[in-house]
Amino acid sequence: MRDATEARYPALPDNHAVRAVVQRVSRASVSVEGEVVGSCGRGLLVLVGVGHDDTDATARRLAEKLARLRIFENDAGRFARSLLDVGGEALVVSQFTLLADTRKGTRPSFSDAARPEVAEPLIATVVEALRAHGVPVETGVFGARMHVELVNDGPVTLIVDL
C-alpha cells in the first residue's frame, strides 16, 4: 500500500538526488557572522542538499515527508508521532555538501549538487510547503557561511533520500 505522500505526488525519476539530514531537536539555531538568523524549539533541524534533477515536485514531496515523518515518541515510547502531531517547529538549512561524492580520492566532488540558481528556489519551495502544512519554519541564509547549534533529542538523526 502506498503512503499518503506517494499517493499525492508522482514517482520521481531514478536520477533525482535531493537529500536531507533530519535531526530531532529540543532546540536549534543558525548564525551568520555571530548573529542568530533562524532558530527553532522542539522539532526538526533539516539540512537539505538539492541535486541537478530535482524539481518543485521533489521539494513538495520532501516537505510532505518531513511534516509527516513519525520520529517523535508516543506515550509507549514508540516512534508514532509526526512534527504535525506534536506541534513542532523546523529549522531548514541548505547544505550542498550533503551531495558530496567521496568514492574517489580524498577531496569530495560536489558535481551532483545543483547550482545555486536552481537550489535556492527549491529550498524555498520546501520551506513554503512545510509552512503550508502549518509547520512554523525558520531558515539559514542561502550561500552564507553558517554556524549551526543544536541539542539533538534522543539522539535521533535520519538521512532522507527521495
Span of 15-19, 110-114, 145-149 with lowest mean pLDDT: 15-19
Residue 70 in this model has a pLDDT that exceeds 50: yes
Q: Would residue 106 show up in a list of annotated catalytic residues for this protein? A: no
Range of the domain at 129: 17-102+116-161
Q: Would residue 95 show up in a list of annotated catalytic residues for this protein? A: yes
- Per the domain annotation, does 78 fall within a domain? yes
pLDDT recorded at residue 156: 97
- Per the domain annotation, does 62 fall within a domain? yes
**In this predicted model, what pLDDT tens digit does every residue of 118-135 receive, in sequence order?**
999 999 999 999 999 999
- Per the domain annotation, does 44 fall within a domain? yes
- Per the domain annotation, does 98 fall within a domain? yes
- Per the domain annotation, does 134 fall within a domain? yes
C-alpha 97/C-alpha 4 separation (Å) is: 30
Per DSSP, the residues of 43-88 read EEEEEEE-BTT--HHHHHHHHHHHHH---EE-TTS-EEE-HHHHT-
Which residue among 72, 96, 125, 139 is the active-site one? Answer: 96
Q: What is the rounded average pLDDT of the residues 64-80?
A: 97
pLDDT band (50, 70, 90) for residue 12: very low
Average pLDDT of every residue of the chain: 91
pLDDT recorded at residue 96: 95
Q: Would residue 97 show up in a list of annotated catalytic residues for this protein? A: yes
Q: Which three three-digit cell numbers place residue 146?
A: 553558517
Q: What are phi and psi of 59, to 5 degrees?
A: -65, -45
Which residue among 5, 23, 95, 139 is the active-site one? Answer: 95
- Per the domain annotation, does 108 fall within a domain? no
C-alpha 21/C-alpha 27 separation (Å) is: 16
**CATH number, domain containing residue 152:** 3.50.80.10
- Per the domain annotation, does 72 fall within a domain? yes
pLDDT band (50, 70, 90) for residue 1: very low
C-alpha 37/C-alpha 25 separation (Å) is: 17
- The total number of structural domains in the chain stands at 1
Amino acid at 102: T
